[in-house]
Amino acid sequence: MTSYSNSNKKYSKILHETVNKNYRKRMIINKLVTVFAIVCVIAAIIPLGSILLEVVKNGASAISLEFLTQPQGSIGSGRGGVGPAIQGTIIVVGLASLIGAPVGVLAGIYLSEFAKEGKFADSVRFFNDVLTGLPSIVIGIVGYVIIVLAIGSFSVFAGAISLSIIMIPIVVRVTEETLKIVPYSLREAGHSLGISKARITLSIVLPSAKNGILTGIVIAISRIAGETAPLIMTILGTSLFFTGITGPVDALPLRIWRLASQPYESAHAFGWGSALVLILMILALSVGLRFLAQRRSFKVAI
Amino acid sequence: MTSNSKNHRNISSLFVMRKKRGDRLFYGLVIGAAGYTLLMVALVAFSVTRGSIDIFSAEGIGFVFQSNWNAVEGRESFGAFPYIIGTLLSSAIAMAIGVPISLAIAIFISEIAPPRIGTPLSFITELLAAVPSIIYGLWALFVFRFWVRDLIEKPLYDVFHGSIPFFAKTPFGLDIFTAGIVLAIMIIPIISSICREVMRVVPDSQREAAYSLGATRWETVRMAVFPYVKSGLVGAAMLGLGRAVGETILVTMVIGNVIGPGAIPTSIFSQGQTLASLVANEFNEASSDLHLSALIALGAILLVLTMGINIVARLLVKKKIKVSSGAKSQ
């Protein structure tokens, strides 16, 4: 009897110690992970803060009315501005978004709501993934071979099509992922009301996934707005304003790249200025769409 | 009574018909859009094949393994090998730095930080995911490369004097290492904001279950959150890798742009060239059709490379899918 009680006590003590030791170890690991995460956040914020600081600091002094509206003066003179590049970016990106956003959302809806298990849906999903991972420079080559060579000149159209190819897979992916998060019970509720599947998708599923999809579209647009590589091969860049959809045009990223490789201080200042304009345009877009999303969701809420 | 019920039937059948027609139209639209994505893939395959056919018939498969790059007429000779190595090395550096940091940031924002800190932080990362690569490039060229040169490369050089082969090279700041770090900086906001979005999907009940079993925060993340969203996390990293491998303009601005056999990196601090950066550098100045074709062929190799990465990543994702929700329950 005594021996049993004794051994029990001993075991319980050992057990207690092991649990305690184990507990301490787990707590230490937990603390380490927390510290590591905080260090990583700080490490990421430093360069990112520096980028914004430099762009604002160097860019603000370059910006003036002349800078925003005039074509570039002679190289190295530091006169004129990047007016054609701003105009070109708005035109090319706008056109690309008009093609890319609807096609992307519809294809995403297909994958999430309509696709049956089978080869077609699988291959759409598979090749969409492939397209997502496709380097933008390859898409520039596509624009060059398919459109530029065919119509014989660098053009706005080639640029817009290329950018839309970059945009669509991003939108498709985000749309599908977001729609999948919408609980199935919402769709069941729609079915129980006897309404059509198109109506269920458009009036129930899409609105509840709207913010996610809009964020995806904004991410896609800001991505293509800053895209440089495909534009090298499609719109070429020019110092003149927009001449037509089949003519070459300038764009901010392209202009920044060209300016940065010139050996003049004034060109670099212009580059920083263009960078600030580009960031502000993207920011305005993102804030604007977010505002829109919030206002709409207020209306649709009930 | 009869007429009333007949009326009723008419209305309902009309309703059903309208419903069907609307459904069919909508179905046509969405399947058309899905088909359009396939068409684009076909266009990509077609144009890259067609553009690179000249060089592959001139150089054969040797194009992939040669390292000459000579565009002078009459002595044209092209090879892609140094740029393949440059691409792989710079992306490997970017992933090694970028993925753990992004994951840690996502964990911090979604699991550790109180909303008071997490919300502004997530706003910042979202904002920074939208910063175009050209701006990272501008910053890297005029600001960051001096940091790398003065803070990392010079001290390392002073200590080892180039005695460790992998780190040996005169510190300059425009090299594969800088390109890798800047790529990492560029993909961190992208990967971490996707990871965070994905982790937010995990229902709190999962976390509560883990906590109620006495799990620490890290154990909760590891055992309740990660398994739920593994495929999403791998997908996020995959997107980051795709961006790093294919990133053009940023790399062009900082990697040093060497061509020919000298572009095979002997250390991570040597100047290099990636497939994408060479295409960007020379595309508008291509001196002949063969030169242009060689550049497009570099694009083709890049395409195959990224497709390979995608397929491997996809297989991984497929294996790791554990929970799925939504319209199709599997």
Give A204-247 pLDDT, tens digit per residue: 999 988 888 988 898 899 889 989 999 999 988 888 888 888 88
Q: A295 pLDDT band (50/70/90 cuts)?
A: low
Q: Which of B32, B310, B326 sits opposite A130 (nearest CB)?
A: B310
In this structure, which amino acid lies at residue B310? Answer: N
Beta strands in B53-123 (DSSP E): 69-70, 77-78
Interface residue A130 vs chain B (CB under 8 A): yes
CA–CA separation, A216 and A179 (whole Å)? 12
Q: B328 pLDDT band (50/70/90 cuts)?
A: very low
- Tokens 């212009």 identify what position? A270
Q: Which CATH architecture is the domain B81-288+303-329 placed in?
A: Orthogonal Bundle (1.10)
Its pTM surpasses 0.80: yes
Q: What is the pLDDT of residue B4?
A: 55
Could you say which residues from 66 to 125 on chain B have a Cβ atom under 8 Å away from some Cβ of chain A? 100-101, 104-105, 107-109, 112, 121, 124-125
Q: How far is CA B182 from CA A48, A296, B4, B178, B323, in A?
A: 11, 38, 74, 6, 35
Q: Which CATH architecture is the domain A65-294 placed in?
A: Orthogonal Bundle (1.10)
Q: Which residues are CB-contacts of A38 (< 8 A; sequence separation ≥ 6)?
A: B108
Please give the residue of chain B at the shortest CA–CA distance from A163: B40
Q: Which of A40, A169, A233 sits opposite B283 (nearest CB)?
A: A233
Q: What is the pLDDT of residue B168?
A: 62
Q: What is the pLDDT of residue A58?
A: 93
- Tokens 């509206």 identify what position? A69
* Phi, psi (rounded to 5 degrees) for A245: -70, -20
Smallest CA-to-CA distance from A215 within A108, A110, A290, A123 is with A290
Q: What is the DSSP letter of A183?
A: -
Q: What is the DSSP letter of B223?
A: I
3-state secondary structure of A236: strand
Q: What is the pLDDT of residue A119?
A: 87
Query: Where along chain B do its domains lie?
Result: 3-51, 81-288+303-329
* Phi, psi (rounded to 5 degrees) for B328: -105, 115
Asked if B239's CB is within 8 angstroms of A257's CB, the reply is no
Q: Which of B50, B201, B280 sits opposite A181 (nearest CB)?
A: B201
| CB of B250 closer than 8 Å to CB of B133 | yes
Q: Quote the tokens at residue A109.
A: 């809806």
pLDDT at B60 over 70: yes
User: Could you give the angle at the alpha carbon of A172 between the alpha carbons of A171 and A173, nearest 5°?
Assistant: 90
User: Could you give the angle at the alpha carbon of B44 between the alpha carbons of A228 and B249, nearest 5°?
Assistant: 20
The β-bridge partners of A80 are A72
CA–CA separation, B210 and B233 (whole Å)? 20
In chain B, the N- to C-terminal Cα span, in Å, equals 48
Q: CA-based Rg of chain A, rounded to a whole angstrom?
A: 27
Please give the residue of chain A at the shortest CA–CA distance from B34: A107
Burial label for A137, CB within 10 Å (0-12, 13-18, 19+), is buried
pLDDT at B300 over 90: yes
3-state secondary structure of B175: coil
* Phi, psi (rounded to 5 degrees) for B39: -60, -40
* Percent of chain B predicted with pLDDT > 70: 86
Q: Quote the tokens at residue B30.
A: 């969405």
H helix or E strand, kind and range, residue A13: helix A2-60
pLDDT at B1 over 70: no
Q: How far is CA A196 from CA A116, A126, B24, in A?
A: 18, 29, 10
CA–CA separation, A168 and B40 (whole Å)? 10
A1-54 per-position pLDDT tens digit: 455 566 677 777 777 777 788 888 889 999 999 999 999 999 888 887 899 899
Q: Which residues are CB-contacts of B154 (< 8 A; sequence separation ≥ 6)?
A: B171
| CB of A228 closer than 8 Å to CB of B133 | yes
Please give the residue of chain B at the shortest CA–CA distance from A278: B132
| CB of A234 closer than 8 Å to CB of A263 | no
Residues of B with Cβ-Cβ distance to A146 under 8 angstroms? 43, 46-47
Q: What is the DSSP letter of B272?
A: B
pLDDT at A302 over 80: no
3-state secondary structure of B281: helix
Could you say which residues from 245 to 284 on chain A have a Cβ atom under 8 Å away from some Cβ of chain B? 253, 256-257, 260, 268, 271-272, 275, 278-279, 282-283
| CB of B255 closer than 8 Å to CB of B93 | no
Could you say which residues from 240 to 299 on chain B have a Cβ atom under 8 Å away from some Cβ of chain A? 241-242, 245-249, 252-253, 276, 279-280, 283-284, 296, 299
Interface test with A, best of B40, B101, B296 (most A CBs within 10 A): B40
Q: Which residues are CB-contacts of B149 (< 8 A; sequence separation ≥ 6)?
A: B171, B172, B173
Average pLDDT of span A140-165: 92
Q: How far is CA A270 from CA A89, A245, A257, in A?
A: 16, 27, 11
A60-109 per-position pLDDT tens digit: 998 888 888 888 877 767 788 889 999 999 999 999 999 999 999 999 99
| CB of A287 closer than 8 Å to CB of A231 | no
Asked if A145's CB is within 8 angstroms of B51's CB, the reply is yes
CA–CA separation, B258 and B270 (whole Å)? 10
B151-203 per-position pLDDT tens digit: 888 888 877 776 666 666 677 788 899 999 999 998 898 888 888 888 887 88
| CB of B134 closer than 8 Å to CB of B250 | yes
